[in-house]
């Protein structure tokens, strides 16, 4: 990561907040810190995430400023609403600075065993696809069910994620398995349109197919099982809505494949 970005974020945060780089995503750079932004006596035993959207030199300043503000603010507003939904696991919002593109969040996840990296779904699936592991292990199935349920719950409440990939799902170890958290809501929106939900599911399916090709069919089936369970638990109204979403998902998928590809 470039020093330039670290300098910029440090100037936004002020001098007394030590940060440690965690990851560089496409849009944002993620740091961790032990300092709470406005609660000086919170203690230093807790970790927090600072998510920073640095200005992108490649795009026109007016596009850049508009996007940074829209996405930072949008993500914060959404997170605060999503956090209140029972059963939905998203990081807790602590603070937000939309003009500088900064968000403070609670820290989620941990390191996977045996140096397999941070516990997002991507690394988790890669770990179980690697030597010495069983990609069809029950824990994989259960975890993907849990992830599917989170997405189902999100859609059921008329929210769309907009960027579902295996990198944007974080797993936290619990007693007998893994708890799934959805993160990265920069492209998310409230929407009750089946089209948006269908596209959401399609984007995830494609991300799984391209990133976890060998076992994608099973993975996608398990995700969809978890997704469906949420709707099915809502009685006949849920069943009807589920059918609508899945039908549209199929349509979007066909559209994607049929779309003519002229050289």
Partner 1 sequence: MVNLNTVRPKNGRDYYIALGLEGSANKLGVGVLKHPLLPQHEDGDLSFNCHAEILANVRDTYITPPGEGFLPRDTARHHKNWCIRLIKQALKEASIVNPSLDIDVICFTKGPGMGAPLHSVAIAARTCSLLWEVPLIGVNHCVGHIEMGREITKAVNPVVLYVSGGNTQVIAYSEKRYRIFGETLDIAIGNCLDRFARTLRIPNAPSPGYNIEQLAKRCANKETLLELPYTVKGMDLSMSGILAYIDSLAKDLFRGNKKNKTLFDPKTGEQKVTVEDLCYSLQENLFAMLVEITERAMAHVNSNQVLIVGGVGCNVRLQEMMQMMCEDRANGQVHATDERFCIDNGVMIAQAGLLQYRMGDVVKDLKETVVTQKFRTDEVYVAWRE
Q: Under the rule (CB under 8 A), what is the footprint of partner 1?
A: 1-2, 4-5, 24-27, 54, 56-60, 62-63, 66-67, 122, 162-165, 167, 187, 199, 203, 206-207, 209-211, 213-214, 255-263
- Give me the least distance between CB of 57 and partner 1, in Å please: 5
How far is residue 82's CA from residue 63's CA, in Å, rounded to a whole number?
Answer: 27
* Measured distance CA(89)–CA(85) in Å, rounded: 8
CB contact set of 43 (below 8 Å; sequence gap of 6+): none
Catalytic: which of 4, 45, 158, 163?
A: 163
* Cβ atoms 206, 129 nearer than 8 A: no
Count of residues making up the chain: 263
- Least Å from the CB of residue 14 to partner 1: 23
Considering the complex, state which of residue 44 and residue 62 has its C-beta at the smaller distance from partner 1: 62
Active site residue 196: no
Please tell me whether residue 185 adopts helix, strand or coil conformation.
coil
Q: Select 180 or 207, whichever has its Cβ closest to partner 1.
A: 207
Collapsed DSSP state (helix, strand, coil) of residue 246: helix
State the number of CA atoms in the 13 A half-sphere of 256 facing the CB.
Answer: 13
What DSSP state is assigned to residue 54? Answer: P
Of residues 4 and 239, the one with the C-beta less far from partner 1: 4
- How are beta strands 177-182 and 159-160 bridged, if at all? unpaired
Place of tokens 């956090």: 83
On the CB side of 234, CA atoms within 13 Å amount to: 18
Shortest distance in whole angstroms from residue 248 CB to partner 1: 13
Burial of 164 (0-12, 13-18, 19+ CB in 10 A): buried
Q: Residue 12 or 139: which CB sits closer to partner 1? A: 12
We find the least distance from the C-beta atom of residue 175 to partner 1, in angstroms, to be: 31
Q: 213 vs 233, which CB is nearer to partner 1? A: 213
CB of 247 to partner 1, least distance (A): 18
Q: Which residues are catalytic?
A: 163
């Amino acid at each position: 990561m470039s020093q330039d970005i670290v300098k910029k974020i440090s100037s936004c945060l002020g001098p007394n907040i030590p940060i440690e780089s965690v990851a560089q995503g496409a849009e944002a750079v993620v740091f961790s810190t032990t300092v709470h932004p406005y609660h000086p006596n919170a203690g230093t035993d807790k970790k927090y995430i600072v998510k920073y959207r640095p200005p992108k030199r490649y795009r026109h300043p007016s596009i850049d400023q508009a996007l940074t503000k829209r996405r930072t603010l949008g993500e914060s507003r959404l997170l605060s609403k999503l956090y209140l939904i029972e059963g939905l696991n998203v990081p807790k919002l602590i603070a937000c600075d939309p003009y500088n593109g900064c968000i403070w969040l609670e820290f989620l996840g941990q390191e996977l065993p045996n140096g397999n990296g941070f516990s997002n779904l991507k690394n988790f699936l890669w770990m179980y696809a690697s030597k010495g592991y069983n990609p069809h292990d029950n824990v994989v199935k259960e975890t993907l069910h849990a992830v599917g349920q989170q997405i189902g719950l999100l859609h059921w409440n008329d929210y769309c994620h907009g960027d579902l990939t295996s990198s944007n799902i974080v797993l936290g170890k619990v007693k007998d398995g893994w708890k799934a958290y959805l993160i990265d809501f920069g492209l998310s929106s409230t929407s009750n349109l089946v089209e948006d939900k269908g596209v959401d599911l399609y984007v995830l399916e494609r991300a799984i197919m391209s990133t976890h090709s060998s076992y994608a069919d099973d993975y996608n089936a398990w995700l969809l099982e978890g997704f469906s369970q949420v709707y099915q638990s809502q009685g006949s109204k849920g069943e009807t809505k589920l059918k609508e979403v899945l039908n549209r998902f199929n349509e979007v998928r066909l559209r994607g494949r049929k779309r003519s590809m002229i050289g």
